[in-house]
Amino acid sequence: MSTFEEIQQREKKVLFQTYARYPLAAVRGKGARLWDSEGREYIDLLSGIAVTSLGHCNEEVTRVMCDQAATLVHVSNLLYQENQVRLAERLLTTNHFDKAFFCTSGAEANETAIKLARRYMQCVRRNGAFEIITFENAFHGRTLGTLAATGQVKLQEGFAPMPEGFRQVPWNDLAALEAAITPQTAAVMIEMVQGESGIRPVTPEFAKGIEAICRKKNVLLIIDEVQAGLCRSGRFWCFQNFDIKPDIISCAKALANGLPIGAVMATDEVAQAFPFGSHGTTFGGGPLLTAVADKVVEIMIRDQLDKRAARLGTAFLARLREVACKHPDKIKEVRGLGLLIGIELTAPGKDVWLKLIEKGFVLNLSHDTVLRLLPPLIIDEADLNAFADALDEVLA
């Protein structure tokens, strides 16, 4: 096997240089542990960005993956597939929606949600509405449509022109939202916890207020659950923390614990906007992906991983806040919901982040100042406490 330096040099030669990679090459994983090319062991507090929620190489998931790989991997959405039906049935027991559509990524799920909202307005209500309202610092993906929804100038640089029909309003400003809605507005789209931009949960008032405005103005409410969904927030779906009922949700990341699958769910009222031939995708919800996702969802429900995320998250947040109290000059704020946790530093944190990697923790640094933690939901509390101790040491 190649050394880390060899892998680094080969990568530079042949891969698009789109990623500022971490100083390690992962070769093996088990549960919350990762091992790199040099044989070093890490506690994984990133989970492939909120993907491997059941831990690496979960035995039950691996068994389903192998069995299904030997039975049927892909056909086409032109054929009936019971695995897809079974996954939809199970997913729909976790929320108030009636129908599901499967695709292959978060961006594609959001793109689908946007298309669905527009088509609902244009073909069911026949009012011609098309505009999607999103929030500052949102992240909805990197296809052109979702990049327009994301709205961040930094991410859009060089990709002009953006598709039309998107408008952004400030976070936590209900008056601005209400003022932005016009007869052309089709939907409001939001992450209940802004993930990529440093773990910013909505306040309960903001969440309830958004729902009330959408109802009053008769526009759809789309919740992007790509990162926060599937138990991570302490409820099965993040919106369920806020006692609201969106019209459409998108999800992806953790759905098949590492295989690429996304989903959109909606009420029957909205789902009727996609009749035969109006939307589709080649890989979406194939037999292998849906067999694995069905096992993932089954385990999440059976093991009540939502409750586990809530319990671990509450304890971990409290522990991190103790560390923050000891270092008020270094830590500005600790925030989060369930096992979506952000530690905002008072200054750019690249050194702190690198030292934590050296100490054996894989985690993300978001927007230069926020240590972002998305541990697997099966992690032991001892691993989280070990991180808190390590952070305390690094900051001392």
User: Under the rule (CB under 6 A), what is the footprint of ligand PLP?
Assistant: 105-107, 110, 139-141, 191, 195-196, 224, 226-227, 252-253
Residues sharing a CB contact under 8 Å with residue 12, sequence separation 6 or more, in sequence order: none
Q: How far is the CB of 278 from ligand PLP (least distance, A)?
A: 22
Residues sharing a CB contact under 8 Å with residue 157, sequence separation 6 or more, in sequence order: none
Strands laid side by side in the 131-135 sheet: 99-103, 262-266, 248-251, 220-224, 185-190, 131-135, 166-169
CB nearer to ligand PLP: pick between 226 and 244: 226
CB nearer to ligand PLP: pick between 226 and 390: 226
Q: How far is the CB of 68 from ligand PLP (least distance, A)?
A: 22
Contact (CB, 8 A) for 235 and 178: no
Q: How far is the CB of 345 from ligand PLP (least distance, A)?
A: 21
CB nearer to ligand PLP: pick between 105 and 364: 105
CB nearer to ligand PLP: pick between 331 and 341: 341
Phi-psi category of 187—alpha, beta or left, where left has phi over 0 and alpha has psi -120 to 50? beta
Q: How far is the CB of 394 from ligand PLP (least distance, A)?
A: 27
Q: How far is the CB of 322 from ligand PLP (least distance, A)?
A: 29
How far from 219 is each of 177, 193, 274, 328, 347, CA to CA, in Å?
A: 12, 21, 18, 43, 40
Residue 394: which of 341, 357, 340, 362 has the closest Cα?
Answer: 357
Q: What is the largest CA-CA distance in the chain?
A: 62
Q: How far is the CB of 381 from ligand PLP (least distance, A)?
A: 25
Phi-psi category of 133—alpha, beta or left, where left has phi over 0 and alpha has psi -120 to 50? beta
CB nearer to ligand PLP: pick between 189 and 362: 189
Residue 1 DSSP code: -
Q: How far is the CB of 216 from ligand PLP (least distance, A)?
A: 26
CB nearer to ligand PLP: pick between 107 and 129: 107
Q: Quote the CA–CA distance of 129 and 20 in Å, as a whole number.
A: 40
CB nearer to ligand PLP: pick between 121 and 226: 226
